[in-house]
Amino acid sequence: MLVNPWSLALCLLAGLSLFLLGMASKTALRVMRSWQPASDSARQIGLEAEIWLSSTLVQYGLAFQVISLFLFVLAADHFSGMLAGAMCATGSLLANDYGLPLLAVKGTGIFLYGGWIVFHQLDISSETYPLVRFKYILLLCLLPFVVADAVLLILYLTALQPDIITSCCAIIFDAAPSGTVQNLVGGRHGQGLLLLHYGWAALLFAAGLVAWRRRQAFFYLLYGVGMLLFFGLALTTLVAEISSYIYAMPFHNCPFCMLKKEYGYFGFLLYIPLFFSVFCGVMAMVVELVKSRPGLGRRVAELQRVMVAVSLGALLLYSTLSAWHYLLYLVAGGEG
Amino acid sequence: MKKYFEKQRNLLDYALASLWRRKGKNISVFLVFSLVIFLLASFLFLSRSLQVAAQTTLRQTPEITVQRMVAGRQESMPLTYAERIRGIFGVRRVSPRVWGYHYNEVTGANITVMALAGDPELGREPLAEGAFWQQGEQGRAVIGQGVVKDLDLGGRRTFSFFRDDLTLKSFAVAGIFAPETNILTYDLVLLDIADGRDLFGLADDLATDLLVEVVNPLEIATVARKISERLPDTRVVTRPQIQGTYQAVFSWRSGVAAICLLSALSAFIILAWDKASGMSPEERREISILKILGWQTPDVLQVRFWEGFALSLLAFAAGAILAYVHVGYFQAALFRPVMMGWSVLRPGFDLVPIVQGGDLLLIFCLSVLPYLAATVVPAWRCAAVATDAAMGG
Amino acid sequence: MIRPSSLFATVLILLLVALFFCGRHAGLRAEEERAIRPVLDALVLRLGLTDLCLATEARYTRHPALSDELAPFMDYPAALEYFPSGLFWAPQ
């Protein structure tokens, strides 16, 4: 199903990302070959100028990927009208084997590009560019990822045939860890997962506060790992529990419909803080890797503090917003 | 943080001032870009609005339609088929139907003639005047607005069609469909099934197709499968298939249009790339002066980004609003001829435009993002000009 | 003097507000349209209509749902499809 404005836009974005990252990789190769920080040669000056180009390109690439993730979800929702049996985006994603991997690649991609930009910012904050080689190796590692994204996209779109019977979101997430997806009206079996979710969030919040005060590698590590686990937990809970409260329908467990107009684009209010929170929390841990580089110690420490603070803020926002419909349900009962 | 925003705002100020300095060039770029976005957005709005119209209007379309295929063509089917379908568990009702097209040789219009068994059981709401015929009444027709116009009825309330053997069959107009139902009834002539058979010269034991109602809508697919097993020479069309077909048609439609318009867009992008790479001596001077004043390469890049972003965002908003006006008020006048082709009967229904965040995002991705991507490398080439080279040269 | 960025922001916000009102307007139109919907539903249901009356030039564009995919090419052997609205007819 390539002849379709949504498919075309997705392919266009994939092509543009490939173009941008490809251009940036050209720089990366040159930097790896002939980077000499001490030298004053014309070539070195040229390379230093190229660093700006490549970082701008990756920033564009990141922005494009974020947009393309949302576009992909909306496109999947659009496709569902043409696929018999698919009632919403979930159905279209499951229509063939490439949908979910593509979504995963796109989601992970955002973290990777974002991470690269953080390293880049650290690098340019120091006069000596201590991370140049490191970040260009990273950049070259990103390239296969972008290629995989484009390939999966093409595979997904070409394999997508209107009228293949697919299951729909009411049942697919049955296999989610809770296994109790369908018991929301009574609200009894679902409580466990919600409790775990918010309990974990509270613990995480405490850990984050400690990390913010103590500024020790161990606490950053704790917070970062906790965040990673929380990401999986939060996505599961979103799908299995929270979504039903948003839709006010016990069997509607689609993680994507909430991004639509019918639900006031509420999903964006959940996913964006969640992604931010996880990203910043994990990055606070990851930048520890380069703390020992010359001239970076103080910058990294500052950055970690900011990251944890942002992450905590976003976590608080996410928790409040995700609990909103549930609380409304408890207070007002039913109609929320 | 505040410092950062203040800096960005200053850069934006500078970018806008520099856009304004070259207003002749930039306004023309803006106009062309708006035009491309306008065309793209119009088509997307139009097909979205048709898509939604199909989705909402065809909700109650027959659950199962059964046609007989002979040598790859649809042929009339014997009524005995209806009996065999009635025997399937889960079937509530089977109604035969005769329908086809009547070609009006005077005007060249194709009129859809549909003949139903029994009383349509409809009130007078869909009609602008008259009423549906009662059971057993012959020679009476309910016709659409387009048919009234095409047959040039004026005040007359009778008309006649040629049978295949060129004898005339005349009808009295029992009622006329209301203009609000044009999207369904514009070219329709509704008859009793006996009249339909008479007009088309069909034997009494034949029908064009069969409409099957199912007790439980969840079983449509099962019943459809059973029908095609029992009657292998038939084509069975279900309600979800019709819905799917319409969605696919419109999505293909806008895909074709998007491809056409993407070539226009890429031409524009190449223009933008070209414009951005060819650096005039003044620009060179400007950048080297900025560099001497202490600007860094990323600052210049940032200015270029703001220039492109401001220009394309304005063009995007302007193009989208114009497209809305085009579809909402002018009924997509530019595209109608293409869409209707050589249709003689041109349905005059009102398009209800639909604007969704997703569609706007789609238009944004198809227009603004390629523009930004195309201008970034040339912008860097300008920004990275070595100061001494620029001043010296 | 007004800063260019303020001017730009004003224009942009005006345009976006206009766009927003386009959306609102569309919503209101859809609201109006809803009144006629029961009538259309009844028509479709009782008459068994399957298609929208959009392009009346050819059988397969008037009734895309009920014409098979060969319909555009069946007039004579090796017939070409030539109706303009057929351009938009997706291959199935």
DSSP code at position C54: S
- Examine residue B162 and state whether it is found in any structural domain, yes or no: yes
* Tokens (6 digits) for B361: 């995002």
Query: Residue C89 pLDDT > 90, yes or no?
Result: no
d(CA B101, CA B91): 29
Structural domain boundaries, residue C2: 1-49
As a 3-state breakdown, chain B gives helix, strand, coil percent values, each rounded to 5, of 55, 20, 25
B-C interface: how many C-beta pairs under 8 angstroms?
220
Q: With contacts defined as CB-CB under 8 Å, which chain A residues touch B259?
A: 3, 8
Domain ranges of chain A: 5-167, 170-332
Note whether B366 and B372 are within 8 A (CB): no
Report the pLDDT value the prediction gives residue A316, as an integer from 0 to 100.
92
Q: Are residues B53 and B90 in the same domain?
A: no
Closest partner residue to A71 among B55, B241, B362, by Cβ? B362
Query: Residue B98 pLDDT > 80, yes or no?
Result: yes
d(CA B353, CA C23): 9
Q: With contacts defined as CB-CB under 8 Å, which chain A residues touch B244?
A: 81-84, 162-163
One DSSP character per residue, B264-282 reads HHHHHHHHHHHHHHS--HH
Q: Are residues B198 and B297 in the same domain?
A: no
Query: Residue B391 pLDDT > 80, yes or no?
Result: no
Report the pLDDT value the prediction gives residue A46, as an integer from 0 to 100.
82
Report the pLDDT value the prediction gives residue A80, as an integer from 0 to 100.
82
Q: Are residues C27 and C66 in the same domain?
A: no
Q: In the structure, what pLDDT confidence band is assigned to residue B316 with cuts at 50, 70 and 90? A: very high
Note whether B340 and C54 are within 8 A (CB): yes
What's the distance, CA B293 to chain centroid?
55
Mean pLDDT within B174-178: 88
DSSP code at position A83: S
Amino acid present at B333 = A
Contacts of A319 (CB under 8 A, 6+ apart): A198, A201
- Closest Cα in chain A to B238: A84
Top pLDDT among B123 and A183 is at B123
- Dihedral pair phi/psi, residue C33, rounded to 5°: -65, -25
Report the pLDDT value the prediction gives residue C69, as an integer from 0 to 100.
60
Three-class SS state of B50: helix
Note whether A326 and A187 are within 8 A (CB): no
- Using alpha carbons, select from B346, B381, B320 the residue that is nearest to residue B48: B320
Report the pLDDT value the prediction gives residue A177, as an integer from 0 to 100.
31
Report the pLDDT value the prediction gives residue A290, as an integer from 0 to 100.
85
Top pLDDT among B184 and A172 is at B184
Q: Are residues C44 and C58 in the same domain?
A: no
Determine the number of helices (DSSP H) and then strands (DSSP E) in chain B: 13, 13
Report the pLDDT value the prediction gives residue C83, as an integer from 0 to 100.
66
Q: Are residues C45 and C55 in the same domain?
A: no
Query: CA gyration radius for chain B?
Result: 31
Mean pLDDT within B301-320: 91
Interface of C with B in 26-85 (CB under 8 A): 26, 29-30, 33, 36-59, 61-68, 70, 74, 83-85
Report the pLDDT value the prediction gives residue A253, as an integer from 0 to 100.
74
Q: In the structure, what pLDDT confidence band is assigned to residue B261 with cuts at 50, 70 and 90? A: confident
Least confident of A102-106, A248-252, B123-127, C86-90: C86-90
Least confident of A244-253, B18-27, B97-106, B355-364: A244-253
Q: In the structure, what pLDDT confidence band is assigned to residue B355 with cuts at 50, 70 and 90? A: confident
* Tokens (6 digits) for B64: 């199962």
- State the total domains in chain C: 2
Strands in chain B per DSSP E: 64-70, 73-75, 77-78, 91-104, 109-116, 127-130, 140-143, 158-162, 168-177, 188-192, 206-207, 209-214, 234-238
Q: With contacts defined as CB-CB under 8 Å, which chain A residues touch B305?
A: 56
Numbered residues of chain A with Cβ closer than 8 Å to any chain B Cβ: 1-9, 12-13, 16, 19-20, 23, 45, 49-50, 52-53, 55-57, 60, 64, 67-68, 70-71, 74, 77-78, 81-85, 162-163, 260-261, 265
| pLDDT < 50 positions in chain A | 164-189, 336
Report the pLDDT value the prediction gives residue C34, as an integer from 0 to 100.
81
Structural domain boundaries, residue B88: 77-207
* Tokens (6 digits) for A30: 């040159």
Q: What tens digit of pLDDT does each residue of B186-195 get? A: 888 988 888 8
Top pLDDT among A335 and B5 is at B5
Query: Scanning the structure block, which residue is given the tokens 């949908």?
Result: A99
Top pLDDT among B90 and A253 is at B90
Report the pLDDT value the prediction gives residue A279, as an integer from 0 to 100.
93
Query: Scanning the structure block, which residue is given the tokens 């139903």?
Result: B116
d(CA B124, CA B146): 19
Q: Are residues C69 and C36 in the same domain?
A: no
- Dihedral pair phi/psi, residue B66, rounded to 5°: -115, 125
Q: Are residues C43 and C1 in the same domain?
A: yes
- Closest Cα in chain A to B305: A56
Note whether A21 and A142 are within 8 A (CB): yes
Q: Are residues C54 and C92 in the same domain?
A: yes
Mean pLDDT within B279-290: 80
Say how many Å lie between the first and final Cα of chain A, rounded.
Answer: 38
Residue finishing a domain among B157, B192, B207? B207
Predicted complex ipTM exceeds 0.90? no
